[in-house]
Structure 1
Amino acid sequence: MNTDTIADYLTRVRNAVQAGHRVVEVPASNLKKEITKILFDQGFVLSYKFDDNGPQGTIKIALKYDKLSKDPVIKKIQRISTPGLRKYAGAGEMPRILNGLGIAIVSTSAGVMTAKQASAQNVGGEVLCYVY
């Protein structure tokens, strides 16, 4: 029984990046699908595909690596808000990651988005993770 499915998702991606895998497969949920879309839109993953086979389906994520040095684009992916200790941020106090080079993914009342988008829409929410 997995109590923190977002941490499991992030750990699978982190382990696949460290092992040098090209594709990682994770169990799907609506929140994980939204996080995957954000990672794709921000250029951290190459592509993704949602498979609805089975009871909940899976997400196949093609990881992105630098063409010349073969270094992964995702240097660090870190869970911030956990089930035991929730972390919230208001619209005016959204975190900046690596002075704007990384992103913070935030779950707001307007949906899942980056911290920069949440500040622009003037909404706060739960800080899910940092990616850089």
Structure 2
Amino acid sequence: MALSDPIADMLNRLRNASRNGFATVDCRNSKVCAGIAAALQHEGYVNGHTVIDDGRQGILRVELRYGPNGEKLFHTMKRESKPGCRVYTKVADLPRPLAGLGVCILTTPKGVLSDRQCREQNVGGEMICTVE
């Protein structure tokens, strides 16, 4: 079965696993998905990620993180740039989700970065998703 949007598939899997209280979630591995997992780990939304070799593309296993009493750390993960409508933004025009409490994830020439890292490195790019 061909998958037309692997990034949206990964975000849906993360959102559903968090909603159901799973400790880990498995996604298809790609450079962009691994970069999203690394950006979420840098921002503190997930504990870590590993790549499991299955002889093909690989499986990306993401370890979800919860609050001290089992609270969810994110409630919405919205895909901004879609295959049919790409969204690009400059560093000066980067949004601040939840007044800075949320995070935007972007693909840039320097890799997949969060909005805070983009402001530090003064680089813009394609806005993949927002996490609130």
Root-mean-square deviation over aligned CA pairs: 1.1
- Alignment of 1:39 onto 2:63: no
Listed as ranges, the gaps of 5+ residues in structure 2 are none
* Partner-residue secondary structure (3-state), 1:10: helix
CA drift of 1:32 comes to 0.6
CA drift of 1:119 comes to 2.2
What is the rounded CA distance, in whole Å, between the counterparts of 2:52 and 2:74 in structure 1?
Answer: 23
- Alignment of 1:86 onto 2:86: yes
Q: Which moved more, 1:44-53 or 1:74-83?
A: 44-53
**Counterpart in 1 of 2:59?**
58
Give the TM-score normalised by the residue count of structure 1.
0.93
Tell me which amino acid in the other structure corresponds to 2:22.
Answer: H
User: Structure 1: which 4+ aligned runs deviate by more than 3 Å?
Assistant: none
- Alignment of 1:29 onto 2:30: yes
**Counterpart in 2 of 1:19?**
20
Tell me which amino acid in the other structure corresponds to 1:125.
Answer: G
Tell me which amino acid in the other structure corresponds to 1:113.
Answer: L
What is the rounded CA distance, in whole Å, between the counterparts of 1:48 and 1:77 in structure 2?
Answer: 18
Tell me which amino acid in the other structure corresponds to 2:60.
Answer: I
What is the rounded CA distance, in whole Å, between the counterparts of 2:122 and 2:46 in structure 1?
Answer: 27
* Partner-residue secondary structure (3-state), 1:126: strand
- Alignment of 1:98 onto 2:95: no
Give the TM-score normalised by the residue count of structure 2.
0.93
Tell me which amino acid in the other structure corresponds to 1:27.
Answer: R
What is the rounded CA distance, in whole Å, between the counterparts of 1:102 and 1:24 in structure 2?
Answer: 21
Number of residue pairs matched? 131
Listed as ranges, the gaps of 5+ residues in structure 1 are none
* Partner-residue secondary structure (3-state), 2:105: strand
**Counterpart in 2 of 1:127?**
127
